[in-house]
Amino acid sequence: MTKMAMTQRQQFWLAHVQAAMRGGQGLKPYASAHRLSVGALYNAKSVFKRAGLLKNGSTQVAASAFVPVQIAPQAAAPIRCRLQHRSGWQLEMERLPDAQWLRGLIGEGHDAAP
C-alpha cells in the first residue's frame, strides 16, 4: 500500500496515527482529544505498521519507555547482633561472633549470666 494508492479514508487514518505518534501522548488520549474511535485508531496503526508505512513506530514507543535511574549508595549494614553484659557494657555487631572468641571475651563462663 503506497500513499498514491491510498483512499481518502486511509490517508485520513494515516495522518491521525502519525500525528498521535509524533505527539508522544499515546493513541488513547489522542483519540479522545480528537473524538476518534480508539479501536479504529489502534487498528489503523496496526494495518499501516504491517504495510511498512510507519517509520520508527516501534522505536518511538521503546524509547519513551526508558526512565532515568540513579543508584543510591549502599546503606550501612544493619546491626544484627547485640551483646549486653550485666555489668553494663554492650557490643553491637553485624553478625554473630565466633563462639571461641565469645568464650574468651566472657572468660570461659566466669562472668556469664546464669
Neighbours of 36 (CB within 10 A): 17
- What tens digit of pLDDT does each residue of 24-55 get? 888 999 999 999 999 999 999 988 888 877 76
Kindly tell me if the per-residue pLDDT of 114 is higher than 50: no
- Buried/exposed 48-70: b ≥16 CB within 10 Å, e otherwise: beeeebbeebeeeeeeeeeeeee
Task: Tell me what percent of the residues of the chain surpass a pLDDT of 70.
Answer: 77
pTM of the model: 0.46
Quote the Cα angle for 14-29-59, to 5°.
Answer: 60
